[in-house]
Amino acid sequence: MEEKIGIIVGTTLQSVFILTMFYMATRFFGRMFGNIYAAIKGNNTSLESCRSCGHKISKEAVFCPYCGQTFGNINSFSTSIFANFIAGVVALAGGIGLLFYLLDLLKDQ
């Protein structure tokens, strides 16, 4: 009886951890796509003219969506497209690996 309770508790904790990994992956990928959108569109509340083509773009835009002129770099982790992509892939791979590990354990039971 105690062994079955241990299996149930362990399986529940592993399932929660797997769901947490998938949740983190979706958050990282969502942030990545949000950063891509912000890099292209920027914040439309404060506009300025592009130095290259003259179109009105956001002051926070990283590059002009019309001509491609770059205006700066994204520096922090939370706004980094590449860092969020890597973190999302790692979290997704970890969740999938843990899911297969849990399925392997349950198959042996």
* % pLDDT > 70, the chain: 88
CB neighbours (10 Å) of residue 79? 15
Among 105, 65, 44, 52, which residue's Cα sits nearest to residue 97? Answer: 105
| pLDDT, tens digit, 9 for 90 and up, residues 35-70 | 888 778 765 567 888 888 888 887 777 788 888 888
Structural domain boundaries in the chain: 2-108
